[in-house]
Amino acid sequence: SFDWNDGLFDVTWSENNEHVLITSSGDGSLQIWDTAKTTGPLQVYKEHAQEAYSVDWSQTRGEQLVVSGSWDQTAKLWDPAVGKSLRTFKGHEGVIYSTIWSPHIPGCFASASGDQTLRIWDVKAPGVKLVIPAHHAEILSCDWCKYDENLVVTGAVDCSLKGWDLRNVRQPLFVLLGHTYAIRRVKFSPFHATLLASCSYDFTVRFWDFSKPNPLLETVEHHTEFTCGLDLSLHNCGQV
């Protein structure tokens, strides 16, 4: 285990070194850790002016890029081999809660914000690529479908999950209702194109298949406090 002197909000594994991971912290910094060296962080990047609430390592081949999102309303692009950020993305009018790379399109990431929008960015283009007013509430989480490069899901304080086809964002592709408090994290399955999991301040984890007439597959009520994060195993399709 590693210690840091402020809260840690998110973590991402390196895609090119099995021992390396990056955390994001309440003091606005990112920490790079090496599980083979337990002495402390390899590097600390301190650029965000407020809480660094999300961090994600690109999964597309041929690039080693990290994106972070902060309550200072900016996202930042990093190359872990470079000591400072490569670029800062501005445009959100509220805190950024989630920044997630597209698993398909190199240099493309999504961000979800307290300004009630989902935004799509291209690191090679100036400004924001797409702004989607996805909810009438703060959006705490988003994720990309692993089987459809145009499909992104959002989870919000209004207790709903919405799926968005980036080619036509006038209406959501699907809306999933069932949570009774804010949705904190949503993740698409790595094994099934229409399966996703969400967790919430209602203490539950829920599994959904948006292709079914009754999309709620299962509600797991084993937590006795806020459920703040979840992820699905890439190796075992039944493990969360």
How much is the average pLDDT of 8-16?
94
How much is the average pLDDT of 223-228?
95
| pLDDT grade for 61, boundaries at 50, 70 and 90 | confident
Q: Per-residue pLDDT tens for 141-190? A: 999 999 999 999 999 999 999 999 999 999 999 999 999 999 999 999 99
Residues, the chain: 240
Closest CA to 164 of 119, 113, 200, 115: 119
Which residues are registered as beta bridge partners of 177?
160
Which residues are registered as beta bridge partners of 219?
206
Q: Please provide residue 182's backbone torsions phi and psi, each rounded to the nearest 5 degrees.
A: -50, 140
The confidence score (pLDDT) of residue 60 equals 87
User: CB-based contacts of 170: which residues, under 8 Å, 6+ apart?
Assistant: none
| pLDDT grade for 96, boundaries at 50, 70 and 90 | very high
Q: DSSP secondary structure string, 173-230? A: SEEEE--SS-EEEEEE-SS-TTEEEEEETTS-EEEEETTSSS-EEEEE---SS-----
Q: Where are the domains of the chain?
A: 8-220
| pLDDT grade for 200, boundaries at 50, 70 and 90 | very high
Mean pLDDT is lowest, of 5-9, 35-39, 64-68, for 35-39
The confidence score (pLDDT) of residue 87 equals 96
**CA distance to 6, 19, 134, 233, per residue, from 27 (Å):** 6, 24, 29, 30
How much is the average pLDDT of 120-125?
95
Contact 64, 80 (CB under 8 A): yes
How much is the average pLDDT of 177-204?
97
Average pLDDT of the chain, as a whole number: 96
Q: Does 4 or 126 have the greater pLDDT score?
A: 4
The helices-and-strands tally (H runs, E runs) of the chain is: 0, 20
CATH fold group of domain 8-220: Methylamine Dehydrogenase; Chain H (2.130.10)
Rounded distance, CA 110 to CA 182, Å? 20
Share of the chain above pLDDT 70, in %: 100
How much is the average pLDDT of 15-39?
94
pLDDT beyond 90 at 62: no
Tell whether pTM > 0.85. Answer: yes
Question: Within 13 Å and on the Cβ side, how many CA atoms surround 225?
Answer: 2
How much is the average pLDDT of 106-121?
98
The DSSP letter of residue 37 is B
